[in-house]
Structure 1
Amino acid sequence: MIGFLENVVFRLRALILLGLLVFTVIAGYYATGLRMTAGFDKQLPVGHEYIQTFQEYRDQLFGSNRIIVVLAPNEGTIWTREFFKTYKELTDDIFFLPGVSRHTVTSLWTPNTRYIEITEDGISADDVISGRVTADSMTPANLQKIQSNVIRGGFVGRLVADDFQSAMVVAELQDYDPSTGQPLDYFDLAAKLEKQIRDKYESDQYTVRIIGFAKLIGDIADGAGTVVKFFIVAFILTALALYLYSRSVLLTSATLFASLTSVVWQFGLLNLLGYGLDPLAVLVPFLVFAIGVSHGVQQINLITAEISAGANAEQAARVAFSRLLVPGSMALITTLVGFGTLYLIPVPMIRELAITASIGVVLKIATNLIMLPLLVSYLKFGENFRDRVTRSREVRLKIMRGLGFVASPRWAVIILIGSTTLFGIAVYQGMNRHVGALHAGAPELRPDARYNVDSTEIANSFALGLNVLTVVVETPPDSCVTYSYMKYLNQFSWAMQNVPDVTLVVSLPFAIKGSAAGWNEGNLKWKDIPRNRPALAQASNTVPGAGALYNQTCTILPHMIYLKDAKATTIKSAINAVKEWRAAHPMEGVNIRLASGNMGVQAAVNEEITETELPMMMWVYAVIIALVTLTYRDWRAVIACCLPLTFGTFFGYWFMEVLQIGLTVATLPVMVLAVGIGVDYAYYIYNRIPYYLGEGMNVTDAFRQALLETGMATFFTALTLAVGVSTWAFSDLKFQADMGLLLSFMFMVNMIMAITVLPALAVVLEMLFPRKRPVARQSAPVH
């Protein structure tokens, strides 16, 4: 079958290459139209309990997609006329930003910021800044009155910093632009936040701090621009390494061209299918390029070996095509399934990433297994090249002969015992790894990034911030004026307020207690839930900002739980606290539902990754087992190919724990890719074993011979790819740096497993379970 395909493909090679050229031109045209896209809804796990709650009440509850802008004078406090004039202009400018839900804009200047005052006649409510006061007519008396209103209204730590050295403006965003009806362009909004807000108001007098999903995605997109620089560096290093290995500019160029062509096809198809490129998935095409280089090195290795033996370019290309088609296809199918399993995570952004990666991997079959050999068949190599290749191969073969000891029975046992011991440690350590972010601030950015600096400063100065977990409490009608319900929810609020890393709980019961005290001359003895229904109604009706704490029928009572940071451990602690409390304190008619707010969204993503990670890995291993079984029909091959891969995977988890890298949307594809690349090494090495066993060699000699043929190519591939992606460690984006470090480690550790543990394991299996009959002789390598 393989021979037939070889003859057909090489007979039609000119026509095939012409067709691929035409397709490349068309794909290149569409690739130029590919744009980065981002959307808040793309983060939401479809069908998750928390997201169902969020979607059901997203028009009534806020906090999931907001921007916070803080204005801080560089000297003194905010209580100056100049500050409030600038603060008013800032509020107005935010009001008119695209996508801003205008009725949610909140600052000291907006009419939805009101305070309650206890007077001789009871309680009166008024705006914090009277409608009769303007920015131009502000007087010292006005400032003193505003300061008093801010303190009495409880806005210190919420809209005004604890030390009075900054004030904030908060606004909720819609996922579409009301002025155009089109999806909100988050990159445009992020640019406007910089140009129309920060650049306008930040000066020698003031500092402007901006946080929120829109600003974060803009910063990530800006940082993603550096991906091109690191790709160029990695490309140059890869080109140099390929030249040193092949000793040919032509072979190096052909390999790089084949790998780059698939990226062009990938971009073109994505645009044609209506997809964009998410900033968090911008590295995926370059991962696909790395996969292409991996398979390209195997092609170069076999081609140079044939040329060194006297073959011409076409003969060498034919051998490379026929011998590597099956193991290469097996490896790419495994990688395809690995990326495809990402689709199991019901997060639109991750599913787009799965589609992006899967398209790229499918294209590799055409570019690296078919197009590359066909291109090589047209190349011309002189005698000098054959001499250079022969000398270079002799050096590599000498190294591999020295490494052949790993297949000797004695060393095989030692290696297997040592690696198994390390595997046990890795499993134990890997159990401590976390899903989600492990550091404060935005995990996609470095700690010293402007966004994270702003986030830290806001968290230190305000109790209210972005990290809000909204718990939706569904109750019977009129629960706001029913003592039993208010008492129950007051206990819930108090329990949440005492959860570690919770900075503030905003709820109706807490607000009612303050209002009740106000109706009783501010006496703290009355700061409790009134038992009398009319008194309870009186207290609840005078709560400031009541619209955010209950609906008109008092059937929805959201509790806003503000967290200190967005670490996975912090979010998980708060979520678990809610679950434990509602399980331990059920009340008929009351349904405590998780969760809205941006921390609810993040919690849903973390839980989906946790739940789907194991099924994903099981699917990948199931495919590997099926492919190996069908190809080699030998259970020993299944164990020999899969177990070293398992070792490498858990070593990766151990590495993540040591470097405190959480399993996130960014790092999950790395682990999947690591399995795909790791199994490449195993397929290419093991593919020659049945052939040599059929020739009468014992398993030790068979593996030594296989290492001579493919061992150096495997080592060189891993080293080249590791060096290339290691440059990402210097990126401005922390998630890119984490991916670079993790990829470098996984490339190397999977290579080490393939050229040491795989032979050792196969030898030990032969010792423990000798074959009852010899392997049938084959006229050609296994296909």
Structure 2
Amino acid sequence: MFKLLTTGFWEAIARIILRNKIFILITVIAATVFFSMQWKHMRFTYTEANMLPDDHEVNLIYNDFLKIFGEEGNLIVLGVKDSSLFSVKQLNAWNKLAESFKPYDEVETVLSIKDLQKLVKNTNKEQFDLEPFIKDSISSIEQINTLQNDLFKKYPFYDNFLFNAETKTIRTAIYLKKDIVNTSARKDFIIKVLQPKIDAFYNDTKLNVRVSGMPYIRTFNAQNIVDEIPIFIGAALLITSLIFFLFFRSFRATFISLIVVCIGVMWTFGILGLLGYEITVLTALIPPLIIVIGIPNCIFLINKYQHEVRSHGNKVKSLQRVITKVGNATLMTNVTTASGFATFILTESTLLKEFGIVASLSILAIFILCLLIIPIIYTFLPYPKDRHLEHLNKRWIGGFVNWMERMVKHKKITIYVTAFILIIASIIGMYKIEISGSLIEDMPKDKQFFKDIRFFEDEFNGIMPLEIMVDTKRKKGVMKLATLKRINELEELIVETPELSKPISVVSLVKYSKQAYYNGNPKYYQLPTSQENSFILSYARNSSSDVDLLRNFVDSTGQYARITTFMKDIGTDKMERIQENLQNKIDKVFPKERYEVTMTGKALVFQKGTKYLVRNLIISLTLAIFLISLFMAYLFRSFRMIIVSLIPNLLPLIVTAGLMGYVGVPIKPSTILVFSIAFGISVDDTIHFLAKYRQELQANHWKIRKSVYAALRETGVSMFYTSIVLFFGFSVFTISSFGGTVALGALVSITLLFAMLSNLLLLPSLLLSLERNIANKEVLRKPAIDIIPSDDDDEMDTKNEQENLS
């Protein structure tokens, strides 16, 4: 009954498609125009990828910090390390560059050498006054010498913030307004204002300006993602169409396939716009993925059409069989592929959810487009020429199939031993895999903005912000001397940690106040004693600059203080050890009944997000295996067949994981995707093979060996074709400048190549070895769906069909 319904369903689909071809083409064109109109709603990401759920504790802590102190990633830094800077002309030009940014609406404040202020004791008014180090412009080398002496020797408050006293590196800090940091205004300012001014400055002075800071890094990183999309699409089209042409030797078939996948890419962009999703480093991969996944669909359909035409020469019957036979098979394989991507929807990460939704919808869309467009276009075209069918008789393909058959016949023990050795070696390699929580590891190493990150790491110990927020649980609790001493004790540990920069906090300001009280003597740059504290703070309270001095370190109520440090690009293990050391110190220094101290910042959020994704990897992969197992159970009605089908698909995943350990590719957001994607795609070959195997069993009266070899010969060529396309298609991602994208492409390609060999060698070997338990009528009962209908199922009166379809 199921069989008849299924066959009848696909026969009905074939009739609908072939009889209504003009209407369907118009509908496809209209849908393409509709999706094209949605492109205007596509948004490029202006924020970092947050891999944690919105209600995750780490996100909640970070958002609490932002509510109190505002956006922390609004700092852009310019740096110069050049002894020629300390000349009258060059230093004035440097200060002028900084001044030129101040009038812009996007800028909150600018701090450069010229903006630095001395905190000076005013005994008459019992307050502190601010006096600039540079009152106007620099006019003599003596002024420069005095300035260097003051900055590098007398005022440690500014050390490691706007200059490095040891290397004489100078920085300028530009704070953007917090409300534009996550908008397109940030990008416009950096691209249209900041960069041209820096270029002009270099042309005038020949001083190499280094630029960094989270807004700057995010802008150029996002721009790089956008720039690579057309490169990926173009490369994917080129390589897949080239391979397609080499297989089919037909410009016509190649051109048809390109039309289909290009429409699929247009629909993908339309889905992104329709759903209002941002283009991120993950969603940017989907358009070329659709090309890579769509071409195998075209191969199956066109290959079947040419087989049928060569067999009986009837075009109408051939196209109908393409839809009824291959349509069902491609639906099943596309559903399993989409399932691999769809498992990400069930994670609590917005980034992965959006990727899973768009990818799975796009895969189903490309299937529909292939099924509709290819048969309809061929109804308008003449019969394929003999040279277009020559590929069906290629000797080297036959040689490959014969080699597989010999291996399965005579070398089963070799195949099992090889698989066992691979598993053992891979398990050992899996223990070598590390987890990476680096914000910048995947960024393009050859880009200038990445080199500038390394520069600031060397000169100022990092650029990635790590924030510590101290809640004193009472108003004005921060300025209590006991609180200041506790913060200072924590800062001493931060200073001793080589991966962290010198911290900036209210403690530094209070130390600077004591130094000013003692007329600028640098030996008094320390916390005041209990006796000193009251009258030094009275000076600070009387100062008109008091609010301005404190506003970046203490909230308006005086209850919360922040300690800001910057972190080098370090591995997850190091970061966790640093966090553990800091937390131990916090627990020791700050009594929990009086203080609540939390660590946050973009670097920490990203690291926690990576660990969260690793846990989700296990969940999503397990879910993919479970869903596809259910699918196989529904198709074949056999638990034993589920086990047999999973073994050759899990082996490539284990091998890839082991390879990652040996080669040193860490688990990170990009490489996490490899396993679910590869599993969803590789299981397609298993479905094709087992479906054909079951059909051969029935045709050959349950003669197992004959059926296995027949299924191997029949499906081996198509599996080889599609695997080659997928291998080279995913290899396109290795041209990316993003390390994670390169790793994703290489690992998926390798996994799919192993999967092909596993399905063509290990799977048939298992079927032969377990023939008594697997291949019998009880185990292989009638499936719920016949993936590949037998020839008897769809024999029709060709003459009547031609009349109906004409």
What TM-score range do you get, normalising by the shorter chain? 0.7 to 0.9
1:730–1:737 contact (8 Å) kept in structure 2: yes
The answer as to 2:754 corresponding to 1:749 is yes
Q: Take 1:116 and 1:244, find their aligned partners in 2: how far apart are those partners?
A: 76
Q: Take 1:541 and 1:312, find their aligned partners in 2: how far apart are those partners?
A: 99
Structure 1 segment 490-505 matched on structure 2, within 5 A: 490-499=488-497, 501-505=499-503
Q: Take 1:20 and 1:140, find their aligned partners in 2: how far apart are those partners?
A: 77
2:465 maps to amino acid = V
The answer as to 2:565 corresponding to 1:561 is yes
Q: Take 2:720 and 2:594, find their aligned partners in 1: how far apart are those partners?
A: 62
1:65 maps to amino acid = G
Deviation string 1:569-594 (CA, Å, 9 cap, x unpaired) is: 44333334344545677723355554
1:156 maps to amino acid = D
Normalised to the residue count of structure 2, the TM-score between the two structures is 0.84
2:11–2:324 contact (8 Å) kept in structure 1: no
Structure 1 segment 467-478 matched on structure 2, within 5 A: 467-477=464-474, 478=476
SS in 2 for 1:210: strand
1:652–1:745 contact (8 Å) kept in structure 2: yes
1:471–1:592 contact (8 Å) kept in structure 2: no
* Residue matched to 1:92: 99
1:729–1:740 contact (8 Å) kept in structure 2: yes
* Residue matched to 2:763: 758
2:682–2:755 contact (8 Å) kept in structure 1: yes
Of residues 61, 68, 74, the one that matches 2:76 is 68
Structure 1 segment 147-546 matched on structure 2, within 5 A: 147-151=148-152, 152-154=154-156, 155-163=158-166, 165-174=168-177, 176-177=179-180, 183-192=183-192, 195-203=195-203, 204-220=205-221, 221-222=223-224, 224-278=226-280, 281-382=283-384, 384-385=386-387, 388-392=390-394, 395-408=396-409, 411-436=411-436, 442-463=440-461, 465-477=462-474, 478-482=476-480, 484-499=482-497, 501-509=499-507, 512=510, 532=530, 535=533, 538=536, 545-546=549-550
**CA shift in 2, pair 1:659/1:145, >3 Å:** same
Of residues 655, 661, 666, the one that matches 2:665 is 661
**CA shift in 2, pair 1:763/1:496, >3 Å:** farther
**CA shift in 2, pair 1:87/1:620, >3 Å:** same
The answer as to 2:647 corresponding to 1:643 is yes
TM-superposed CA distance for 1:494, in Å, is 3.2
TM-superposed CA distance for 1:426, in Å, is 2.1
Q: Take 2:691 and 2:587, find their aligned partners in 1: how far apart are those partners?
A: 55
Q: Provide the alpha-carbon RMSD of the alignment.
A: 3.7
**CA shift in 2, pair 1:774/1:278, >3 Å:** closer
**CA shift in 2, pair 1:448/1:222, >3 Å:** closer
Question: 773-782 or 681-690: which moved more?
Answer: 773-782
The answer as to 2:657 corresponding to 1:626 is no
SS in 1 for 2:44: coil
Question: 337-346 or 715-724: which moved more?
Answer: 337-346
Q: Take 1:97 and 1:751, find their aligned partners in 2: how far apart are those partners?
A: 59
Of residues 617, 621, 625, the one that matches 1:617 is 621
**CA shift in 2, pair 1:281/1:382, >3 Å:** closer
SS in 1 for 2:114: coil
Of residues 102, 107, 111, the one that matches 2:112 is 107
2:636–2:781 contact (8 Å) kept in structure 1: no
1:483–1:536 contact (8 Å) kept in structure 2: no
Deviation string 1:546-566 (CA, Å, 9 cap, x unpaired) is: 433333444212222322225
* Residue matched to 2:62: 54
Q: Take 1:563 and 1:774, find their aligned partners in 2: how far apart are those partners?
A: 60
TM-superposed CA distance for 1:232, in Å, is 2.5
Deviation string 1:210-237 (CA, Å, 9 cap, x unpaired) is: 1234333443324642442453243223
1:328 maps to amino acid = T
1:474 maps to amino acid = D
**CA shift in 2, pair 1:562/1:73, >3 Å:** closer
**CA shift in 2, pair 1:390/1:348, >3 Å:** closer
Percent identity, aligned pairs only? 16
SS in 2 for 1:447: coil
TM-superposed CA distance for 1:315, in Å, is 2.7
SS in 2 for 1:446: coil
1:549–1:559 contact (8 Å) kept in structure 2: yes
2:30 maps to amino acid = F
2:50 maps to amino acid = Q
**CA shift in 2, pair 1:89/1:590, >3 Å:** farther
**CA shift in 2, pair 1:98/1:622, >3 Å:** farther
Q: Take 2:626 and 2:531, find their aligned partners in 1: how far apart are those partners?
A: 63
SS in 2 for 1:469: strand
**CA shift in 2, pair 1:274/1:772, >3 Å:** closer
Q: Take 1:536 and 1:690, find their aligned partners in 2: how far apart are those partners?
A: 89
2:14–2:323 contact (8 Å) kept in structure 1: no
Q: Take 1:708 and 1:270, find their aligned partners in 2: how far apart are those partners?
A: 41
* Residue matched to 2:711: 706
Deviation string 1:674-720 (CA, Å, 9 cap, x unpaired) is: 22221222222222122223343444433322221222222222222
Question: 528-537 or 446-455: which moved more?
Answer: 528-537
Q: Would you say how many aligned residue pairs link Structure 1 and Structure 2?
A: 768
1:91–1:169 contact (8 Å) kept in structure 2: yes
2:202 maps to amino acid = E
SS in 1 for 2:183: coil
* Residue matched to 1:129: 132
Of residues 26, 29, 42, the one that matches 1:22 is 29
2:76–2:216 contact (8 Å) kept in structure 1: no
TM-superposed CA distance for 1:248, in Å, is 2.9
**CA shift in 2, pair 1:124/1:207, >3 Å:** farther
Q: Take 2:715 and 2:742, find their aligned partners in 1: how far apart are those partners?
A: 31
SS in 2 for 1:243: helix
1:469–1:560 contact (8 Å) kept in structure 2: yes
2:35–2:271 contact (8 Å) kept in structure 1: no
1:480 maps to amino acid = V
SS in 2 for 1:433: coil
Deviation string 1:137-157 (CA, Å, 9 cap, x unpaired) is: 644454344334423332232
Q: Take 1:734 and 1:494, find their aligned partners in 2: how far apart are those partners?
A: 36
TM-superposed CA distance for 1:773, in Å, is 4.1
Q: Take 2:527 and 2:98, find their aligned partners in 1: how far apart are those partners?
A: 36
* Residue matched to 1:715: 720
TM-superposed CA distance for 1:379, in Å, is 3.7
2:734–2:746 contact (8 Å) kept in structure 1: yes
Structure 2 spans left out of the alignment, 5+ residues: 541-545, 790-806
TM-superposed CA distance for 1:624, in Å, is 0.6
Deviation string 1:280-337 (CA, Å, 9 cap, x unpaired) is: 5322211122111122223233333333323533333333322333443333223323
Q: Take 2:435 and 2:287, find their aligned partners in 1: how far apart are those partners?
A: 24
TM-superposed CA distance for 1:31, in Å, is 5.8
TM-superposed CA distance for 1:522, in Å, is 8.9
Question: 223-232 or 361-370: which moved more?
Answer: 223-232
2:120–2:131 contact (8 Å) kept in structure 1: no
1:176–1:184 contact (8 Å) kept in structure 2: no
SS in 2 for 1:207: coil
TM-superposed CA distance for 1:503, in Å, is 3.2
SS in 2 for 1:291: helix
